[in-house]
Amino acid sequence: MSSILPPARRVWWKEPIEKTELWWIAIALVWSMVLFFMMPYWHVFGKQNLSNEAYRISAADFQARTQEMVDKYTVRTETEQNIPVVNPPAGSDVYLIGRLWQWWPILELEQGKSYRLHLSAMDYQHGFSLQPENVNLQIVPGYEMVITVTPNKTGSFAIVCNEYCGIGHHQMVSRMYVK
Amino acid sequence: MADIGSFRIDPRSGLQYHREAEALIKVNAVAGVVFLLLGGVLALLVALTRVPGLHILDAEWFYLTLTAHGIDMLIFWMIFFEIAILYFCSSTLLRCRLAAPRWGWVAFALMVIGAIMTNVAVFQGQSSVMMTSYTPMMAKPAFYAGLILFAVGGLIGCFIFLGTLVIAKAEKTYEGSIPLVTFGALTACIIAVFTIASGAIILIPTWLLSLGVIDKVDPLAYRMIWWAFGHSSQQINVAAHVSIWYLVAALVFGAKPMSERVSRGAFLLYILFLQLASAHHLLADPGLSTNWKVVNTSYFMYFAVLASMIHGLTVPGAMEVAQRQKGYTRGLYEWLRRAPWGNPTFSGVFIAIIGFGFLGGISGVMMGTEQLNMIIHNTIYVPGHFHATVVVGTTLTFMALTYYLIPVLFKREMINPGLARLQPYLFGFSMYFFCLVMMGAGTLGVSRRHWDMAFSGMPMAYEWPGAAYLMMGLVGISAVAAILGGAIYIYVTVGSLLWGKRVDSGAASASGRPTPLMAPAAVAQTYGSQGFAAPGTFMLAMVFLVAFVLYYFVNWKYLSTVWGLS
């Protein structure tokens, strides 16, 4: 009479299923299909999708491309470390490096404009966490993630590292500006 | 064939133990509890360090402690206890001798050596790589070698379980099909074999990398294969604790499954689809196509979620049917009101079922949804989710089972049953709260695995919303309450083993052959009301569904407000 004994009927797989279970399975199955449907639906109608491109890239190459952008579009520097603030034209390719333990450089973007944001890590894995928007991406060394971002608010945003990257991990915090 | 006297029949439960299996079940369970104790002390340190303004550990010790806490709890405590469960569900429930008990001791020795080796490596420093140990960050070779030894031991344990099933079949110790609980344990075992194989595929090269034999392990490939091990090992826990839920329903209520077909079918869905969940850890990674992510992280169209929703109904449903047959038929919930709430084996399991479903289950689906993952990935929402699944779900279930096993396996009277009665409530409810505030802080973006949310001294420090600070403070308070609950568990169980009164161990069976297990006589199902056998459970399931639907769409609404990303 219990779950710790063999089934009462030898041919248990032909027993009828009771209403409670049948109804619940039907409802749960429909809900599962809704859950499944929502993801493709959002790809068509939603504005927040991670349909990113990705490429293999060496740390040196990514560094060089970032440097090129910095050389062209730097408008000022901030903090004692003189981190460049770059203001690239709307619609352009923008680069952000994650390395022990800083994000480099500081990007200044325009509201409502789209940018191709390139992200890569120089050493360990890092976590790109844009706050207070709360958009979180995994940054992996040797790979470049390219994603089109369209800021919909202005202000100063924080970029926190949220993938553990060693003893200075909690000091890895930077900014991104949207005008 | 076993010798005369090699089986013992426990007089309280009627369970029949093969003596060699009994010894192995005991040592594995005890080893698990030792690591739970260690992990619990580390948990206290981690939680109090994360409370803003308290910071009892410095950064170096915090990351070290967090690494050790994760590994000791998620791997060593769980898997030692699960090996005990595998032996129990095969040898004891099938009334069969354990296959190759000597290999059982080899497995145990390997697991102990491995667990100690990894812990020593972590505590020596330079291996604070977190449980995930993502390359290219490297730990010492002993860190990986310990995990590999432990996994080999676990794998041997799995094959002993499978061998025991073969023996039981050959020696005809049961009639018909294996019991549902054993079927669930078989599910856990099959998942475990897959899991350990994945672990070996990635940890062996990483170990060689740490020794300098090879010079690269691709970080993306590492993440993919490591999670086939890291997440799947949590699926072993799910299959194991769901089996224990059915076991406890049977032990406490004499409940039989509402339908063998449905419950076994749901376990089968676990085997087929549950491992795909590993992919949701890669949702924020570069390099994976949308189609791949959508198919895999939906556990192939949510068939594994469906399976968990089915178990979530059928376990309490089986309890309800059993209670109604005893005459507790008034209203929707007399069966539940009259349940033995003072029995920690029942209350622990019931609190685990509700918490696992409402907190762990729903939040898990959020994280596993491709787009919603972006507002959750690597925030403290993630540990909020998995504490609801592996602490409220698995750990509390294992604790509840331990209370049952103290007299019937360890042959001791429980010391301080009053404290034991309180324990599941204290531990369970403070963990509910702990998970909720962690998820709350995660929704505000607070990072996991982070020593200093205030970014003290940093020129570009970010100031989190006040509510995030408040919730991180509440995380600390609820963690302390939960750890107190854990301490009571350790005190009661270890105390009972050490100085609890010995109870009658029961007669040795007269022959070398175990008494065979008879299938029960079939009886007609009696119905509850409205033609539903379990109307109360059905209503509970509806409440669950409403909570699920609302919370799901609230998250989409939240997502729709953030920056456009494509």
Q: Are residues A87 and A60 in the same domain?
A: yes
Q: Are residues A16 and A82 in the same domain?
A: no
Q: What is the CATH number of the domain that holds A99?
A: 2.60.40.420
Query: What pLDDT score was predicted for residue A1?
Result: 46
- A152: chain B residues, CB-CB within 8 Å: 562-564
Assigned domain for A118 exists: yes
Q: Are residues A129 and A158 in the same domain?
A: yes
CB contact under 8 A, B371 and A3: no
Cα separation, A150 vs A136, in Å, equals 15
Taking CA atoms, B473 is separated from A134, A173, B81, B172, B468, in Å, by: 20, 22, 32, 58, 9
- Tell whether B310 is within 8 A of chain A (Cβ): yes
Say if CB B199 and CB B254 are below 8 A apart. no
Mean pLDDT in residue range A12-41: 92
Q: Are residues A134 and A77 in the same domain?
A: yes
CB contact under 8 A, A135 and B369: no
Say if CB A178 and CB A109 are below 8 A apart. yes
Q: Are residues A68 and A37 in the same domain?
A: no
Q: Which long-range contacts (CB under 8 A, 24 or more apart) does B36-39 make?
A: B36/B72, B36/B73, B36/B77, B36/B395, B36/B486, B36/B490, B37/B490, B37/B494, B38/B68, B38/B72, B38/B119, B39/B68, B39/B69, B39/B72, B39/B73, B39/B76, B39/B77
Q: Are residues A33 and A91 in the same domain?
A: no
Percent of chain B with pLDDT over 90: 83
Question: Containing domain of residue A24, as a range?
Answer: 12-45
Cα separation, B505 vs B248, in Å, equals 22
CB contact under 8 A, B314 and A173: no
Out of B257, B285, B374, the one facing A3 most closely (by C-beta) is: B257
Rg (CA), chain B: 23
Residue A10 banded pLDDT, cuts 50, 70, 90: confident
Q: Which of B6, B39, B130, B50 is nearest to B395 (CA)?
A: B39
Number of independent structural domains in chain A: 2
Q: Are residues A100 and A173 in the same domain?
A: yes
- B441: chain A residues, CB-CB within 8 Å: none
CB contact under 8 A, A36 and B559: no
3-class state of residue B322 by DSSP: helix
Vertex B424, ends B418 and B425: CA angle to 5°?
90
pLDDT of residue B442 exceeding 70: yes
- A145: chain B residues, CB-CB within 8 Å: 286-287
Assigned domain for A137 exists: yes
Cα separation, B110 vs B152, in Å, equals 7
Out of A3, A47, A54, the one facing B249 most closely (by C-beta) is: A3
Over the stretch B7-41, which tens digit does the pLDDT of each residue have?
A: 888 888 888 999 999 999 999 999 999 999 999 99
- A32: chain B residues, CB-CB within 8 Å: 301-303, 305-306, 309
Q: Are residues A102 and A135 in the same domain?
A: yes
CB contact under 8 A, A2 and B313: no
For B382, nearest residue in chain A (alpha carbons): A162
Provide the chain B residues 231-290 that lie in CB contact (below 8 A) with chain A.
Answer: 246-247, 249-251, 254-263, 282-288, 290
- A175: chain B residues, CB-CB within 8 Å: 460
Over the stretch B281-307, which tens digit does the pLDDT of each residue have?
A: 999 999 888 888 888 877 666 888 999
Query: What pLDDT score was predicted for residue B524?
Result: 47
Q: Which two tokens stand for residue B102?
A: 């000597």
Q: Are residues A79 and A18 in the same domain?
A: no
Assigned domain for A3 exists: no
Over the stretch B87-140, which tens digit does the pLDDT of each residue have?
A: 999 999 999 999 999 999 999 999 999 999 999 999 999 899 999 999 899 999
CB contact under 8 A, A32 and B303: yes
Query: What pLDDT score was predicted for residue B291?
Result: 86
How many residues are listed for chain A in this entry? 179
The interface predicted TM-score of the complex, written ipTM, equals: 0.95
Rg (CA), chain A: 24
Assigned domain for A34 exists: yes
- Which residues, 6+ apart, have CB-to-CB distance to B109 below 8 Å? B153
How far is residue B302 CA from its own chain's centroid? 20
pLDDT of residue B270 exceeding 60: yes
Over the stretch B354-388, which tens digit does the pLDDT of each residue have?
A: 999 999 999 999 999 999 999 999 999 999 999 99
Q: Are residues A103 and A36 in the same domain?
A: no
Assigned domain for A1 exists: no
Query: What pLDDT score was predicted for residue B525?
Result: 46
Assigned domain for A112 exists: yes
Q: Are residues A73 and A127 in the same domain?
A: yes
Provide the chain B residues 187-226 that lie in CB contact (below 8 A) with chain A.
Answer: 218-220, 223
Residue B227 banded pLDDT, cuts 50, 70, 90: very high
Assigned domain for A140 exists: yes
pLDDT of residue B520 exceeding 70: no
CB contact under 8 A, B134 and A42: no
Q: Are residues A76 and A41 in the same domain?
A: no
Cα separation, B204 vs B382, in Å, equals 27
Assigned domain for A4 exists: no
Over the stretch B39-72, which tens digit does the pLDDT of each residue have?
A: 999 999 999 999 988 889 999 999 999 999 999 9
Listed in sequence order, the DSSP H helices in B258-341 are 260-273, 290-297, 299-325, 334-337
